[in-house]
Amino acid sequence: MDATRRAALKGAGALLGATAFARAIAPLQAWPENLSLDELLQQHYKELSKVDMAEILARIELKTLQEYGVRVNVEDPRPIPDVNFGYALNLSICVGCRRCAKACHEENNHDRATNNSYIRVLEMDKGSLDLERGTVNYDHEVPQSDKFYMPVQCHQCDKPPCVKVCPVEATWKEPDGIVVVDYNWCIGCRYCEAACPYHARRFNWLAPEIPPEDINPDQGYLSNQIRPAGVMEKCHFCLHRTRKGLLPACLEACPTGARVFGNLADPNSEIRWVLENKRVFVLKEDLGTQPRFFYFFDE
């Protein structure tokens, strides 16, 4: 067969096309090991039907069984009608024991090696409120007479800057006031971590390592399901508990009763009494984030 200019051009065109195609599908070669096809094709949380969600929850339960050898129950509890959650913390009686941080760590299936928790407790000099000079890894008896202690966690802001910056709408505010993250939608860009003025968001650098016997099997899709590596997470007011009427784990762990949780829409609730009768403030009020997490003092 004679080599013609037409054949040469055809050959060159075919080669170019094949190269372009290979280049176009190159991202698939970098397919993360922990991503299944079902997860890739999953719709946004707000577009999922009940059937879709049931399949997803079953998939997560199976994945946890395969990876951690533990049977867990993952649910997707919905907001309770006419409930608006609020949280208040009494700085006069917080002793800085960090039991709230520990309870969060255990309740929410955090990575054991890093002691991760959604709560940081700042130790600061009495008479100051200088967060930059606060220490979180103090290692001495508490409370020290010249210090006070301020646990900081997600403030579930009504004007959340973290939600505003998310490029893929993987985080949003729920009708009951909780700012949630869809771990299966988050791309891990960490914009929200940078935007949060309370340092309340955490990034999963690695998949959490937890001994099977320590895994909390009562899990929620938007809360304490075991998160994959590469996604953001944050305090969700223990929504897998609180949307069933239970108190958050950090409150139950507090030995002094410094924490008050409840329904802001209920005028007879404990949280409303605190807001109406105590000296209450919010952190960094000037930023206009409108937190639902309040601090207060006794007389």
Partner 1 sequence: MRVLTQLPILLTLAGCLGGFADPDREFAEPVLEGTLHPVVIHQPLTLGVADTHRLDVNGTPIGVACDTCHGPTPSLSFAAAEGAPDAFHEAVELRHGDLECDYCHDSEDRTQLHLANGQPLDMGDAMTLCAQCHGVQFRDYDRGSHGGMNGYWDLRQGPRSRNHCVDCHAPHAPAYQPVMPVHPPKDRFLNPEEGH
- Interface region with partner 1, contact rule CB under 8 A, candidates 57-65, 66-74, 110-118, 188-196: 110-118
Task: Write down the least CB distance from residue 73 to partner 1, Å.
Answer: 17
Structural contact between residues 256 and 95, judged by C-beta atoms closer than 8 angstroms: yes
Rounded to whole angstroms, the Cα distance separating 212 from 64 reads 10
Among residues 57, 60, 121, 179, which is the contact residue for partner 1, using CB under 8 A?
A: 121
Task: Write down the least CB distance from residue 8 to partner 1, Å.
Answer: 31
Can you say whether the dihedral through the CA atoms of 103, 220, 245, 275 is positive or negative? positive
By CB under 8 A, the residues from 197 to 226 that bind partner 1 are none
- Structure-token match 């999953």, residue found: 42
Tokens at 139, concatenated: 């290692």
Check binding of 263 to partner 1 (CB under 8 A): yes
Task: Write down the least CB distance from residue 31 to partner 1, Å.
Answer: 25
Rounded to whole angstroms, the Cα distance separating 141 from 97 reads 9
Q: Checking DSSP bridges between strand 85-90 and strand 293-297, what pairing results, if any?
A: parallel
Report phi then psi at 263, rounded to 5.
-95, 110
Rounded to whole angstroms, the Cα distance separating 171 from 122 reads 26
Q: Checking DSSP bridges between strand 120-125 and strand 279-281, what pairing results, if any?
A: unpaired
Comparing CA positions, the residue from 251, 186, 223 lying closest to residue 78 is 223
Per-residue exposure over 4-25, b if at least 16 CB sit within 10 Å of its own CB, e if not: eeeeeeeeeeeeeeeeeeeeee
By CB under 8 A, the residues from 151 to 170 that bind partner 1 are none
What is the pattern of x (binds partner 1, CB under 8 A) and - over residues 37-66?
A: ------x--xxxxx-x--------------
Task: Write down the least CB distance from residue 151 to partner 1, Å.
Answer: 12
Can you say whether the dihedral through the CA atoms of 95, 99, 102, 104 is positive or negative? negative
Among residues 77, 161, 188, 197, which is the contact residue for partner 1, using CB under 8 A?
A: 77
Applying CB under 8 A, what is the total number of residues that bind partner 1?
A: 66
Check binding of 260 to partner 1 (CB under 8 A): yes
Task: Write down the least CB distance from residue 5 to partner 1, Å.
Answer: 31
Check binding of 190 to partner 1 (CB under 8 A): no
Check binding of 23 to partner 1 (CB under 8 A): no
Which residues in this chain contact partner 1 in the complex, by CB under 8 A?
43, 46-50, 52, 77-83, 88, 90, 93, 95-99, 101-102, 105, 113-115, 117, 120-121, 136-143, 174-175, 242-247, 251-252, 254-257, 259-263, 270, 273-274, 277-278, 296, 298-299
